Amino acid sequence: MDNCIFCKIANKQIPSSIVYEDDNLLAFKDINPAAPVHLLVIPKQHVATLSECTEEHAEVLGKMLALVPRLAAEHGISVTRGADGEPSGGFKTLINSGPDGGQEVYHLHLHLYGGPRPWRGMR
């Protein structure tokens, strides 16, 4: 898509801090991080919003979500359990959709937030 900033990032027309890439997906650091770790996972193929996804997108949507544990491990934000079995660490995943959902960039993306709190604007 012409004029889509995340297509330009996927095509390497504008720079980003890429943390993962394969044939279908790209993950990179958010330019304005709201948490100590703030990554974005996108499909390389343009889809404007989750609201426009159909069964056709199930595979790439699954791949986006399945990438999260790997990225979390690589960035030190996995859920871990102490000797007492209590969970610690962890992360938040978020897909904003449409104006009421807070979406600003109309190329589907999954936010991955983690690291020590507080995080900007989030519980």
What is the token pair recorded at 10?
């996927």
CA distances (Å), 34 to each of 12, 17, 68, 80, in order?
24, 16, 17, 22
Among 33, 34, 44, 46, binds Zn ion (CB under 5 A): 46
Is 96 an interacting residue with respect to ligand 5GP (CB under 6 A)? yes
Determine the interface stretch with Zn ion among 12-20, 27-35, 39-47, 55-63 (rule: CB under 5 A): 39-47
Is 28 an interacting residue with respect to ligand 5GP (CB under 6 A)? yes
User: Which partner, Zn ion, ligand 5GP, none, binds residue 50 by CB below 5 to 8 Å per kind?
Assistant: none
39's CB contacts (< 8 A; 6+ apart) are 19, 27, 28, 29, 30, 71, 75, 111, 112
Is 7 an interacting residue with respect to Zn ion (CB under 5 A)? yes
Q: Would you please indicate which residues are annotated as catalytic (active-site) residues?
A: 109
CA dist 71 and 40 (Å) reads 10
Is 19 an interacting residue with respect to Zn ion (CB under 5 A)? no
Site for ligand 5GP in 38-77 (CB under 6 A): 40
